[in-house]
Amino acid sequence: MSSHISYSKLEKTYTPDFRHKISTARNTNDVYNAFCYTVASMFNEITDTKKFRESDIDFYPERNCHYELGVNLKCEPSVVECLHTSDLGRILDDMAQTATNRHTHLMKHPERTNSKIMRH
């Protein structure tokens, strides 16, 4: 029987900063960057390396699965194992949904975002 690993501590570490970056995003590129940067940072912490970058993750708010891991992540055995034996997939799905919701809001109301930018 395989053991199930939980990354809830990791989630609690990254969630506040991630939510702040998402909520203060001024455009869809900011949302994309916040999501990809946070996920790359999480994988770097999990694997205890510094080899993953934002470019190793793609964010697709229009798809059912809102993100896709790049070749570097898919080929890393420790990453593949983490995704199959832990709650990391759920954590990434939740983060992607949060980013997608903000992305959708920014797409629907660009005039609000532009007016906020002008005030700052």
Q: Torsions phi, psi of 69, nearest 5?
A: -85, 140
Q: How far apart are CA 2 and CA 112, in angstroms?
A: 49
Q: How far apart are CA 32 and CA 44, in angstroms?
A: 18
Decide which of 86 and 5 is more confident: 86
Residue 34's alpha-carbon distances to 1, 20, 31, 45, 91, in angstroms, are 37, 10, 5, 17, 15
Contact 99, 107 (CB under 8 A): no
pLDDT in tens, 7-66: 999 999 999 999 999 999 999 999 999 999 999 999 999 999 889 999 999 999 999 999
Given pLDDT bands bounded at 50, 70 and 90, which one contains residue 1?
very low
